[in-house]
Each structure stands twice: as C-alpha cells, then as structure tokens.
C-alpha cells in the first residue's frame, strides 16, 4: 500500500513539475531554463 502511494505521488509530482515548467516556459521563454536547471 505504501509503495503504491509513493509511486503515485512520484508520478503526480512529475506531472505537476512538467506542467509548471511548461507554463513557466510559455510565460518567460528560453530564459526559464537557467532558472529551472539548478
């Protein structure tokens, strides 16, 4: 049960991260890459 939740949360985090990155890239253009890659 716990392992399944961990996987699901990982997938959700990945989706949220990708979504926010896409939105940010749309808003800020190529410059955002420097901000996201840390």
Mean pLDDT of 6-32: 83
User: pLDDT of 23-33, one tens digit each?
Assistant: 887 877 666 56
Please give the residue range of the domain that contains residue 16: 2-36
**pLDDT score of 34:** 63
SS3 assignment for the chain: CHHHHHHHHHHHHHHHHHHHHHHHHHHHHHHHHHHHCC
| Counted domains in the chain | 1
Question: What are the residues whose beta carbons fall under 8 Å from the beta carbon of 34, sequence distance 6 or more?
Answer: none
Q: What's the pLDDT score for residue 14?
A: 92
Query: What is the predicted pLDDT for the residue at 8?
Result: 86
């Amino acid at each position: 049960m716990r392992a399944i939740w961990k996987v699901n949360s990982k997938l959700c985090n990945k989706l949220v991260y990708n979504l926010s990155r896409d939105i940010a890239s749309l808003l800020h253009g190529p410059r955002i890459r420097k901000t996201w890659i840390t």
